[in-house]
């Protein structure tokens, strides 16, 4: 087992675990899960899920190099290039992940199986779509309720309803509650009129009351529900899941336009400036000395420049702090069947932290993955002036996130957007100018190219990361 590293988040499931060796990712299937796993594969369910694009495929690996106690099989799943978490998804991303989970449950029932858990963390986005990454989530169906029903409500339904009826920012609650939003809390937060919705009433409000009732009496709510529902057969369970799926699919989210949701409709760029900016950025991307596997677009808004970058990179992670902008980006990705762009909600001023057991189950944004190339357009003035972050701190962060090249736009104080930021506050930023910016770069990046955007006071830089700090 030399050089084998068990994944820090893979310890809760006694059916198996994820580990890496020499840069490759594997999953061990434990002996205790042998009968269930073999039945799952032999039934044809796995292949059916793969054919529909519902689950990542895998190949079985010889045990010779991976022998370990309690091992039944070792499989090598398709690698997801960049992991994201539910608190980083827009409404429609979470909704699509929820629909996928229910579709998988319905297909599993057709083969005589059921999902034994319905964690949103078992879903990742790959090639533009949600996909299940946990091959060990299945067990043979036995008459009774869906064992993962409460988990589905906590991980998917409660956050969706809170986003829809309260405030989309409550989606960040899934970061605070790693095992799902407590249903009693969701019930208290949801508006009164949701009690008149049959689905919200039954799946959230009454569900929460039942949990509280039997918890207070010392009984397990899940055990009581299981006993009361033991007569539910597979047909009735399928009808319940179908009904829940229809309800989830019918949810919609409408948000008032934010400052960034329609950013490119309200920018201070002229058409000539925008075209000039695009041409310069494309010339940078064309000149790089090797193909780009993973590129990050920070402050991507609705993904305009992410789409340009996707012509030159296999994967583009398109970050923005505004969920409406990310939602617009994702809906466009989905409509166009774009397999290269992954929109993600991220507040760079307060990025996703490491959470869970020992703060190791879910990775922080910083340190999760290095990007070969990073684009940061019309961003630095918001961090430096809007959030009082010194230029050298910004450069240090970007240096830690990128491995090769950084394309960044400097927006001076004479730009109307910066003038707008300074209109209602004192200018306490004496070092915020082009010379101060280039001074902050020293030791971290080398300037490869520097171009003024046509008909603009803004400057684009193409920077090469210094591997060793001077």
Same domain, 15 and 162: no
Distance CA 348, CA 380 (A): 11
Asked if residue 367 belongs to a domain, the reply is: yes
Strands (E), 3-66: 4-6, 16-21, 24-30, 58-61
Same domain, 318 and 339: yes
Assess whether pLDDT exceeds 80 at residue 49. yes
pLDDT at 335 (0 to 100) = 97
Distance CA 350, CA 155 (A): 23
Tens-place pLDDT, residues 244-300: 999 999 999 987 555 545 555 556 668 889 999 999 999 999 999 889 999 999 999
Tokens of 371: 């990007």
Same domain, 42 and 162: no
Same domain, 174 and 281: no
* Phi, psi (deg, nearest 5) at residue 393: -70, -40
Between the alpha carbon of residue 374 and those of residues 5, 147, 263, 303, the distances in Å are: 29, 43, 20, 14
Last residue of a domain, one of 203, 228, 250: 250
pLDDT at 265 (0 to 100) = 55
- Give the mean pLDDT of 321-348: 97
Assess whether pLDDT exceeds 50 at residue 1. no
Total count of domains within the chain: 3
- Give the mean pLDDT of 335-350: 96
Asked if residue 112 belongs to a domain, the reply is: yes
Between the alpha carbon of residue 145 and those of residues 160, 217, 227, 230, 257, the distances in Å are: 23, 22, 9, 7, 42
The residue written with tokens 């409404």 in the block is 91
- Give the mean pLDDT of 20-40: 92
Q: What is the CATH number of the domain that holds 317?
A: 3.40.50.150
pLDDT at 216 (0 to 100) = 59
Same domain, 224 and 319: no
For the stretch 193-197, contacts whose Cβ atoms lie closer than 8 Å and that sit 24 or more positions apart, written own/partner, are 194/161, 194/165
Same domain, 145 and 209: yes
The residue among 347 and 5 whose pLDDT is bigger is: 347
Same domain, 433 and 292: yes
- Give the mean pLDDT of 80-84: 96
Q: Residues of the chain with pLDDT > 70: what percent?
A: 91
Assess whether pLDDT exceeds 90 at residue 129. yes
- Give the mean pLDDT of 82-109: 98
Q: Which structural domain range is residue 8 located in?
A: 4-77
Tokens of 202: 């039954």
pLDDT at 215 (0 to 100) = 64
Q: Which residues pair with 376 in a beta bridge?
A: 298, 408
Q: Work out whether strand 313-320 and strand 341-345 pair parallel, antiparallel, or are unpaired.
A: parallel
Q: Which residues pair with 71 in a beta bridge?
A: 30
Residue 404 host element (H or E): strand 402-410
* Phi, psi (deg, nearest 5) at residue 262: -120, 40
Asked if residue 470 belongs to a domain, the reply is: no
Which pLDDT band, with edges at 50, 70 and 90, does 7 fall under? confident
The terminus-to-terminus CA distance of the chain in angstroms comes to 39
144 and 138 Cβ atoms separated by less than 8 Å? no
Same domain, 12 and 60: yes
pLDDT at 260 (0 to 100) = 47
3-state secondary structure at position 447: strand
199 and 244 Cβ atoms separated by less than 8 Å? yes
pLDDT at 211 (0 to 100) = 82
102 and 248 Cβ atoms separated by less than 8 Å? yes
Same domain, 188 and 105: yes
Tokens of 302: 């609705």
pLDDT at 267 (0 to 100) = 62
Q: Residues of the chain with pLDDT > 90: what percent?
A: 81
- Give the mean pLDDT of 446-452: 97
Assess whether pLDDT exceeds 70 at residue 114. yes
Between the alpha carbon of residue 73 and those of residues 38, 60, 135, 136, 319, the distances in Å are: 10, 7, 12, 12, 38
The residue among 225 and 467 whose pLDDT is bigger is: 467
Last residue of a domain, one of 46, 77, 108: 77
- Give the mean pLDDT of 335-343: 97
Same domain, 332 and 393: yes
Which pLDDT band, with edges at 50, 70 and 90, does 353 fall under? very high
Tens-place pLDDT, residues 202-223: 999 999 998 877 665 555 555 5
CB-based contacts of 137, cutoff 8 Å, min separation 6: 115, 116, 117, 122
Tens-place pLDDT, residues 50-66: 999 999 999 998 866 55
Distance CA 156, CA 174 (A): 9
């Amino acid at each position: 087992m030399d050089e084998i590293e068990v994944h820090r988040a893979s310890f809760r499931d006694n059916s198996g675990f994820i580990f890496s060796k020499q840069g490759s990712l594997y999953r061990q299937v434990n002996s205790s899960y042998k009968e269930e796993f073999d039945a799952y594969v032999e039934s044809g369910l796995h292949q059916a899920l793969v054919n529909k694009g519902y689950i990542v495929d895998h190949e079985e690996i010889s045990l010779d190099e991976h022998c370990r106690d309690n091992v039944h099989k070792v499989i090598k799943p398709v690698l997801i290039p960049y992991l994201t978490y539910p608190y980083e998804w827009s409404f429609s991303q979470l909704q699509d992940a929820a629909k996928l989970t229910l579709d998988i449950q319905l297909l599993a029932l057709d083969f005589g199986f059921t999902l034994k858990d319905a964690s949103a963390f078992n879903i990742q986005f790959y090639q533009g779509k949600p996909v299940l990454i946990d091959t060990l989530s299945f067990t043979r169906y036995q008459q009774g309720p869906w064992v993962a029903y409460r988990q589905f409500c906590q991980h998917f339904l409660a956050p969706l309803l809170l986003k829809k009826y309260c405030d989309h920012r409550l989606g960040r609650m899934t970061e605070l509650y790693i095992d799902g939003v407590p249903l009693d809390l969701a019930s208290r937060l949801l508006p009164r009129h949701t009690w008149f919705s049959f689905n919200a009433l039954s799946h959230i409000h009454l569900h929460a009351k039942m949990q509280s009732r039997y918890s207070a009496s010392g009984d397990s709510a899940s055990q009581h529900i299981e006993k009361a529902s033991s007569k539910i057969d597979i047909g009735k369970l399928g009808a319940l899941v179908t009904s829940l799926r229809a309800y989830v699919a019918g949810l919609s989210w409408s948000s008032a336009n934010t400052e960034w949701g329609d950013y490119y409709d309200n920018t201070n760029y002229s058409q000539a400036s925008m075209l000039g900016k695009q041409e310069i950025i494309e010339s940078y991307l064309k000149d790089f000395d090797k193909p780009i596997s993973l590129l990050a677009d920070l402050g991507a808004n609705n993904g305009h420049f992410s789409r340009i970058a996707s012509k030159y990179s296999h994967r583009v992670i398109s970050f923005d702090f505004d969920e409406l902008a990310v939602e617009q980006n994702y809906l466009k990705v989905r409509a166009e069947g774009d397999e290269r762009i992954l929109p993600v909600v991220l507040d760079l001023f307060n990025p996703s932290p490491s959470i869970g057991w020992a703060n190791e189950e879910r990775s922080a944004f910083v340190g999760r993955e290095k990007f070969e190339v990073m684009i940061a357009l019309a961003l630095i003035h918001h961090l430096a002036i809007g959030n009082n972050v010194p230029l050298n701190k910004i450069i240090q962060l970007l240096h830690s996130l990128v491995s090769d090249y950084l394309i960044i736009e400097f927006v001076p104080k004479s730009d109307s957007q910066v003038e707008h930021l300074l209109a209602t506050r004192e200018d306490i930023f004496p070092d915020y100018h082009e010379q101060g910016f280039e001074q902050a770069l020293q030791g971290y990046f080398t300037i490869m190219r520097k171009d003024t955007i046509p008909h603009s006071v803004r400057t684009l830089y193409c920077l090469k990361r210094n591997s060793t700090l001077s």
